[in-house]
Amino acid sequence: MKVGVFAVLLATEPLHEVLDYLQKKGINTVEIGTGGFVGNAHCNPTELLANPEKLAAFKREFESRGMEISALSCHGNPLHPNVKRAQDDHQTFVDTVRLAAKLGVENVVTFSGCPGESEQSRYPVWNTCTWPNDFAEVSEWQWEKKVIPYWKEQNAFLAEQNVRASIEPHPGFVVYNTETMLRLRAECGTQIGANFDPSHYFWQGMDPVACIRELGKENALFHFHAKDTRIDRQNSALNGVLDLKSYRDLANRSWIFRTVGYGHGEEIWKEIISELQRIGYDGAISIEHEDGLMNHLEGLEKAISFLQSIIIEKQEVEMWWV
């Protein structure tokens, strides 16, 4: 495994400066945003696909530094009931997959998407309970009429391009936990797996270690985001964890995102890294920064130091006792 960085947190800086800075910090693996919610400050797939010279120059930025791209990321909602929004996010996904194929990048990270509750919807509808029965009926309609048909088609496209869709389980989308992730893969195909971000598992009350093990049984964990969550005991005791307050309302939320090691300690993160190793994951541990209590450089550098202290790149070890 290698410590990597999701470079969107440095989106205000030119790509060459970002790569130079990260390399000085001992980082040689990066994840690049290509559109959707994360933007495309460092990489516009449509532009690169249309211009071989720009594509070659983009590749040289990494090759000249001996750096690799762990994933191209285009988190969006291709199932949005707003047709224009859905088409735009779908096209970004398609272009990102095609670009990944040209670059030899294995993973494209995105969301599963979330439809509305009917053909007349204007906004996505995410269900959090099964009763009254309307909610269960809506959920099944979404899966049968929208989710499965779309992702079956994308699975075939991904296979043609020899690229994998690393779906990030995330509340607000139809894939948000282990069960829904494995359902999407079972229904639609094995080019689809997980971009595992423990922060979303923590606040929903899941055990990331157990979830990694379950996904590992199906070889369904493709990529990993390093981000933490801190549960506020007082606020969550009063209001639970379903929280509609702004992410900026740090004092009153039931939980907030934190830099790794500031929501859960070293022991938990060692267990997570060990379980990844146990299932055979040998990819990037890609740092994603969304900590409202630290600026992006402070949070990034603390995360790099923390993870580098507990991750050793895989090596052949002679076991004298065998």
Residue with tokens 């959090």: 128
**pTM more than 0.85:** yes
The tens digit of pLDDT for each residue in 152-199 reads 999 999 999 999 999 999 999 999 999 999 999 999 999 999 999 999
**Residue 225 pairs with which residues in a beta bridge?**
286
Q: How confident is the model at residue 321 (pLDDT cuts 50, 70, 90)?
A: low
CA atoms within 13 A on the CB side of 117: 8
The tens digit of pLDDT for each residue in 258-311 reads 999 999 999 999 999 999 999 999 999 999 999 999 999 999 999 999 999 998
- pLDDT over threshold 70, residue 322: no
The tens digit of pLDDT for each residue in 9-27 reads 999 999 999 999 999 999 9
Q: How confident is the model at residue 123 (pLDDT cuts 50, 70, 90)?
A: very high
**Residue 31 pairs with which residues in a beta bridge?**
6, 71
Q: How confident is the model at residue 315 (pLDDT cuts 50, 70, 90)?
A: very low
With 0-12 / 13-18 / 19 or more C-beta atoms within 10 angstroms meaning exposed / middle / buried, residue 190 is: middle
And the tokens for 20? Answer: 């130079």
Between CA 186 and CA 202 the distance in angstroms is 24
Q: How confident is the model at residue 317 (pLDDT cuts 50, 70, 90)?
A: very low
Q: At what angle do helices 83-103 and 148-161 cross, to 10 degrees?
A: 20
**Residue 282 pairs with which residues in a beta bridge?**
none
Domains, in order of start, for the chain: 2-308 (3.20.20.150)
Q: CB of 223 within 8 A of CB of 284?
A: yes
- pLDDT over threshold 80, residue 133: yes
